[in-house]
Amino acid sequence: MIYSIQPKIYAKLKKSLYAIISLILISFIFFTIKYNETSSQKRGETLSRILKNNYFLELNKFIFQKVNSPYLSIAHKITKGENLTNIFKSYNIDEKDIIKANSKLKKLIKPNKLKMGMILDLVIKKNISGTLNLIKLNLPTSKSINISLDRDINNKFIAKKKITQLFTKLSFSEGVIKKSLYSSAIKNNVNPNIIIEFARLYGFEIDFQRDIRKNDAFQILYETFTDEDGEWYSNGKIIYAYMTVQNRELALYKYETDKLSGYFDINGKSMEKALMKTPINGARLSSSFGVRKHPILGFNKKHLGTDFAAPLGTPIMASGTGTIVKAQWCGGGGNCIKIKHNSTYSTIYAHLIKFASGIKSKTKVKQGQIIGYVGSTGLSTGPHLHYEVIVNGKKINSQKLNLPSGKILKGEDRKKFEIERIKTDVLLAETIAKKIKF
């Protein structure tokens, strides 16, 4: 007897069948991974790592869409401690393929030193015999370098390194500050990284919380890198920076030689000092240095730092170059960081919600480098940064700190700087002229 099935019911059955097959395939991949390892604990760790990988969903999606295809397309996000061998093994790739692939790739990259967060694209083929062969691999190791592995007509692996050719052009932005430098610069299409660097340059001289006034102006001339198609790729360094602050005009020029690199004003004087005025931008000074009534404990207590109220997660910068002495829980100070800048100066940053990547004890940091983010950990009534400056072992008011003036160029450096400054002024005029529409 022949039974007819309605199209809708057939479609549902077909969909269910695909789902069942997909689950079987996923189970097969999961539970055959590392099966020959001696410890069930290791198998569990491997399985857990794959499940936690954000990009494993791509495999699941692929199986549902192409259940009849022998090819698996996988986008694997590299996690801490992973290397090519254990990634290949986690997807049960044939041992011979792993050896051959590593042999080719090790000439271009270090298979055991992969950067966390990189995306490894794999194409795997399941053969009739049940083995899984690696067909293709793609790994961007940096913004301009891409590593690929393919099979040639003889089925042998060929590894290639492609370097994207980048072209440099100058970009110019200017604007008038209404609420804050950051918001005004963003409205003028300035990249956030350029804004942060711009603020760092002026952070030695300007307190962005108290000195900036409405209608103060800014100009930035900076490098932009594009690819062969003219598409934006990344930003380079700032060539020229300019600000008007309460009727003061402050222009800075980039000047570098084999032995020297920095930003100098029209007179060849550097603004850079041992410490920045404030290690955070766009914050409000909420509590000054001195005696105050503690907001939680309720009694008068000397406040040995300066508090800056800011939104949760606001980046905090190292106010000077130095070495991290500690980056840990500090009781009432919550998550805190202490940096030793030299034999004279140290700084403390408290109540952080978290530390920036790579920040730990004995780490060396550069002035202006992001070290953490504003939080409300420890004894705190709301998101803010508690900032302390220690001079020769004594905590002092950071807002009244008098630091030595920046370096002044002399001799040959001064002559070379004048030449570079004139060149920059010409570049600035040409770039502005190109933007003007007649």
pLDDT of residue 283: 61
pLDDT of residue 24: 56
pLDDT of residue 222: 95
User: Structurally, what CATH architecture does the domain formed by 7-163 represent?
Assistant: Roll (3.10)
- Evaluated on CA atoms 330, 332, 334, 337, the torsion sign reads negative
pLDDT in tens, the chain (438 residues): 333 334 444 444 445 555 555 555 555 555 554 444 444 455 455 545 554 454 444 544 444 444 456 777 888 888 888 888 888 988 888 999 999 998 888 888 887 778 888 888 888 888 877 788 898 988 888 777 888 889 888 889 999 888 777 888 889 999 998 877 888 888 888 888 888 788 888 877 777 767 778 889 999 999 998 877 777 877 889 999 999 988 889 999 999 988 888 899 999 988 887 788 788 876 666 555 454 444 444 434 565 778 888 888 888 899 889 999 999 998 888 999 999 998 889 999 999 999 998 899 999 998 888 899 999 999 888 888 999 998 988 888 877 777 766 788 889 999 999 999 999 999 999 888 887 764
* Helix H or strand E segment including 145: strand 145-151
What is the dotted CATH code of the domain comprising 284-400? Answer: 2.70.70.10
**Residue ranges of the chain that CATH labels 3.10.450.350:** 7-163, 169-273+409-435
pLDDT of residue 251: 94
CA angle at 92 for the pair 88 and 93, rounded to the nearest 5° = 60
Phi-psi category of 334—alpha, beta or left, where left has phi over 0 and alpha has psi -120 to 50?
left
Q: pTM of the entire structure?
A: 0.54
| Fold for the domain defined by 169-273+409-435 | Nuclear Transport Factor 2; Chain: A, (3.10.450)
**Residue ranges of the chain that CATH labels 2.70.70.10:** 284-400
Instruction: Go through 218-251 and write b for each residue having 16 or more CB atoms within 10 A of its CB, e for each that does not.
Output: bbbbbbbbeeeeeeebebeebbbbbbbbeeeebb
